[in-house]
Amino acid sequence: MITLEISLRHLAWSNQKFFSLFGEMPEEVFTLRSAENEWTIGELLVHVVDAQRWFKYCLEGGVEWTLPKLKPITKASIALEYLPIIADLDAIFLDHLALEDEEIIFHAGGNPRSGTRSFILSQPAFHMSEHKGEIATILKQHGFHINLNDLDVRSYVNYTKTTQK
């Protein structure tokens, strides 16, 4: 069974590998999009990190979203600047695993919302995997390739088996 803990540990591992891939990409990659008026890869990368910040905000019972805008990702060096940001967010999610699975109230659009800790914690992995697939598809559409199989849960489990020996 893939537990929430495995999902979040896999997320942290795959996020680092995924964003590292963009440290080797040419600048043109960050402007690619699936169709006119759709988000660019650079915008999607910022979006997934901003969403991680949103999930952290929810877990903390946020009252007002006041975080500053993130730096646009327009080239490889900026993509790599996001690695420690993502690592910090993933560590926070893992820390929340030790806390009681209680209902958390947070505010969205000025209105109170709520969700259990486990529900909120499940969202980052689902959200990120959807966008990783979208980004990989855009890359392939434009002649670039990343192998998402190298980032999947099976690869993570195999990785942990070999590093724990």
- CATH number for the domain spanning 73: value is 1.20.120.450
Question: Where in the sequence is the domain holding 75, given as residue range(s)?
Answer: 4-163
Question: Rounded CA gap, 34 and 24, in Å?
Answer: 21
Note the helical H segments in the chain.
4-21, 41-59, 76-81, 83-96, 117-141, 153-163
pLDDT tens per residue, range 115-150 = 999 999 999 999 999 999 999 999 999 999 999 999
Place 165 in a pLDDT band, splitting at 50, 70 and 90: low
**Which pTM does this prediction carry?**
0.94
pLDDT tens per residue, range 66-79 = 889 999 999 999 99
Show contacts of 78-82: CB within 8 Å, 24+ apart. 79/19, 79/22, 79/23, 79/25, 79/30, 79/45, 80/19, 80/20, 80/22, 80/23, 82/19, 82/45, 82/49
pLDDT confidence of residue 110? 87
Count up the domains in the chain and report the number: 1
